[in-house]
Copies of this chain bind each other. A is one copy, B any other.
Amino acid sequence: MALRARALYDFRSENPGEISLREHEVLSLCSEQDIEGWLEGVNSHGDRGLFPASYVQVIRAPAAEPPAPAGGARYANLPPGGFEPLVPPAAFNPPVQQLPPPAAAEPFPLPPAPYSGSYQPSQGSDDDWDDDWDDTSTVADEPGVLGSSYPDYDAAGGGGPTSARYRLSTRSDLSLGSRNSQQPGHLHHHPGGGAKSSATVSRNLNRFSTFVKSGGEAFVLGEASGFVKDGDKLCVVLGPWGPEWQENPYPFQCSIEDPTKQTKFKGMKSYIAYKLVPSNTGQQVHRRYKHFDWLYGRLAEKFPVISVPHLPEKQATGRFEEDFISKRRKGLAWWMDHMCSHPVLAQCDAFRHFLTCPSTDEKAWKQGKRKAEKDEMVGANFFLTISVPTGPAAALDLQEVESRVDGFKSFTKKMDESTMQLTHTANEFARKQVTGFKKEYQKVGHSFKGLSQAFELDQQAFSANLNQALAFTGEAYDAIGEFFAEQPRQDLDPVMDLLALYQGHLANFPDIIHVQKGALTKVKESKRHVEEGKMEVQKADGIQDRCNIISFATLAEIHHFHQIRVRDFKSQMQHFLKQQILFFQKVTQKLEEALHKYDSV
């Protein structure tokens, strides 16, 4: 029992039965054998519990054991070496997080998407609320990185309905039908094991699985419970194209204008505040980027099967530059548009608080903030708030659902590739117009001007008009060069903004699909168990009903995505083409002006 391990990374316990680790901390291990990726041990605070095996390195030199320190240990299995770190304390302070643990950190390691892809939800403490963590982030996102931002979904999932990680769960079928007490002898304890555990279908021990993290698994297994207020209810209804979110009865928009620089602490700190005016209240409020960021964090946590639009990218430097502010404002406006367009997001409390709480009422803001952070209807409980259509007409065919979700998965992959491609092309095209196209037209203008200057030496009175017309033609081509350089701002930039927003959604969907597929697998499992007489029909029916709720929500979300996609791409393509037409008309007009100069030659 004198086995020890050193923590390679920080790890924060988030479930009962888990313990937190600090990088470099030495722990005593209860056993060297991991239980599906988890080890049990005692940390330097004397807390005993589970932690991910991949976060520690077992120390293989137990030969000479130093004497136990004075004062002994709180726990019998406290290792003789105590909890003193193997490295000097200086290495702890500050506790810099190095490379994140590659495997266990995220079920799908997402490459940074142009729209705040490597987004980290804030932990929402009032104390650090006024810190400028949004603006001073040293980890700048890298928008426009070449190559697909699409998570390596197929590689992880193998194209089948269950991902490699997810199979960790289905492999534990050996313990099927057994109670906790019947689990392998060396497993004293497992994450969440202390909670209600009436499931007879196996649980996924990998808490990093989105299915588990989202609360989807707990919900499907019937472990969620809570009181759903009428105001929290979300309805999926049957529309002409299948399940969809019930429309917001009070639709509204919200403008984001007038980004202004503000200061506090007597000018020590400065930041940009945006004026928001929701159309339903007409009352303006001012919000900073970090307020948006906080809201995003809450929403991403609360809604596991909804694609919360990503915020525009963070930027480490130049945050007060006009171009950046203007670009961010446009990004936030797009974000706001998608928030207001979503029947569920538009009506949720945290968003309402964000849109309506007076900017000057600090107290009311903090109250609403705390309330949102204490929302119990998150995770597994969130699914309780979803009402779905009932009756034979609304019955979902499992195979059809699976095929539709698979189809959507292929679609998102292809759409992600093509939006990446279009973004790249548009970016290059814009760059060429600003540089090459402009230069070429201006060189032509310059040459015409040169010819007109030569002609001015001709001493011929009768050619003065020609010389002027030539000079004007030169200027016209110079102006056309400028038109080219200015044009991308009018047409290509908005297209790229839209594409960035959609790349954010496309980065969300793998998780959403993952939750739905996890639920579907549970249904299949339970059906097999019923056939094998290992499960009561009633229990299996409950699993299927709850899975259907997730499927309805997923299909509604997919429908919503398609709806706003068609709406957005239609309007943006129209905008783009109109701007292009205006541009070419402007060029034509300039040339016509030049042509008319020759009338008097």
- Whether B419 lies near A451 (C-beta < 8 A) is yes
Contact code string A282-308 (vs B, CB < 8 Å = 1, else 0) = 000000000000000000000000000
A570 within 8 A of B: yes
Beta-carbon contacts of A553-569 to B below 8 Å, as 1s and 0s? 00000000010011001
A436 close to B (CB within 8 Å): yes
A contact face: mostly helix, strand, loop, or mixed: helix
Q: Which of A454, A455, A462, A473 has the most CB of B within 10 A?
A: A454
Specify which of B417, B460, B581 is in contact with A241 (CB 8 Å cutoff). B460
Is the beta-carbon distance between B570 and A411 smaller than 8 angstroms?
Answer: no
Contacts of A419 in B (CB 8 A): 451, 454
Q: List CB contacts (< 8 Å) of A548-592 with chain B.
A: 562, 565-566, 569-570, 573-574, 577-578, 580-581, 584-585, 587-588, 591-592
Do A422 and B436 touch across chains, with their CB atoms under 8 A apart?
Answer: no
Q: Note all chain B residues with C-beta closer than 8 A to A172.
A: none
Cβ-defined partner of A444 (8 Å) among B429, B436, B470, B562: B429
In whole angstroms, how far apart are the Cα atoms of A450 and B573 in the complex?
14
Complex interface: chain B residues within 8 A of A446 (CB): 425
Q: Does A440 contact B (CB under 8 A)?
A: yes
Q: Measured between alpha carbons, how far is A425 from B418 in the docked complex, in Å?
A: 37
B454 touches A417 (CB 8 A): yes
Query: Are B411's CB and A454's CB within 8 A?
Result: yes
B residues less than 8 Å from A425 (CB atoms): 443-444, 446-447
A598 at the interface (CB under 8 A from B): yes
Q: Are A601 and B422 in contact (CB under 8 A)?
A: no
**Contacting pair B581 A418 (CB below 8 A):** no
A594 on the interface (CB 8 Å rule)?
A: yes
Contacts of A460 in B (CB 8 A): 241, 562, 566
In the complex, the answer to whether B458 meets A418 with C-beta atoms within 8 Å is no
Q: Which residues of the partner chain B approach A580 to less than 8 Å between Cβ atoms?
A: 591
Contact between A421 and B450 (Cβ–Cβ < 8 Å)?
Answer: yes
Residue of B nearest to A448 (CB): B422
Q: How far is the CB of A439 from chain B (nearest CB, A)?
A: 9
Whether the pair A562, B463 counts as a contact (CB closer than 8 A) is: yes
Residue in B closest to A419 when the chains form the complex, CB atoms: B451
* Complex interface: chain B residues within 8 A of A353 (CB): none
Interface residues on A, range: 35 or more
How far in angstroms is the closest Cβ of chain B from A501?
Answer: 15
CB pair B459–A411 under 8 Å, yes or no, is: yes
- Which residues of A from 326 to 380 have beta carbons under 8 Å from B? none
A453 in the interface, Cβ–Cβ < 8 Å?
yes
**Contact of B429 with A440 in the complex, beta carbons under 8 Å:** yes
Are A421 and B404 CB-contacts (below 8 A) given A588-B588, A601-B566? Answer: no
Smallest CB gap from A433: residue in B: B440
Contacts known (A421-B450, A469-B573, A562-B458); A432 close to B426, Cβ less than 8 A: no
**A261 at the binding interface (Cβ < 8 Å):** no
Could you tell me the distance in whole angstroms from the C-beta of A387 to the nearest C-beta in chain B? 24
Which of B414, B444, B578, B587 touches A426 (beta carbons < 8 Å)? Answer: B444
A454/B415 contact (C-beta < 8 A), A569-B470, A574-B598 known: yes
- Smallest Cβ distance from A453 to chain B, in angstroms? 7
- A95 on the interface (CB 8 Å rule)? no
A407 in the interface, Cβ–Cβ < 8 Å? yes
**Contact yes or no, B594 A451, CB < 8 A:** no
Q: Which residues of B contact A587 (CB under 8 A)?
A: 584
Q: Could you list 8 examples of A-B contacts with CB < 8 Å?
A: A407-B457, A415-B455, A418-B447, A419-B454, A426-B444, A460-B566, A577-B591, A584-B588
19 more contacts with CB within 8 A, not counting A414-B453, A466-B569, are A404-B459, A411-B454, A415-B457, A418-B454, A421-B450, A422-B447, A422-B450, A429-B444, A436-B436, A451-B569, A458-B565, A463-B565, A466-B566, A470-B573, A566-B601, A570-B601, A577-B591, A578-B595, A584-B585
Top 4 closest pairs, chain A to chain B, by CB: A414-B454, A425-B447, A422-B447, A418-B454
